[in-house]
Amino acid sequence: MSFIGFLLLGLIAGAIAKAILPGTQGGGWFVTLLLGVVGAVLGGWLGSLLFGVGIGDFFQLSSWLLAIAGSIIVLLIYGAVVNRRHTA
């Protein structure tokens, strides 16, 4: 997958993850892009480690599912860190 395709996958996966999780997460489109790209990397790594399937082609369903799942994990961690800062 090309670098631009990977960024687009991360941006869309991050936006879908923000739409799936309840509540209001901070950050604009750039934070969504960063969380989505990190989530896609995490999802690809976990997918290859657990299932033997990583991030492949842009149009593969497994790539999208792994990227969205990784983005949800990263968004949950991000939300826990940001909320901890505001309450401390």
Q: What is the pLDDT of residue 85?
A: 66
The alpha carbon of residue 2 and the mean position of all alpha carbons in its chain are separated, in whole angstroms, by: 17
Give the pTM: 0.84
Number of helical (H) and strand (E) elements in the chain, helices listed first: 3, 0
Instruction: In whole angstroms, give the CA distance from residue 44 to residue 68.
Output: 10
| Residue 2 pLDDT | 83
Query: Where residue 81 falls among pLDDT bands split at 50, 70, 90?
Result: confident
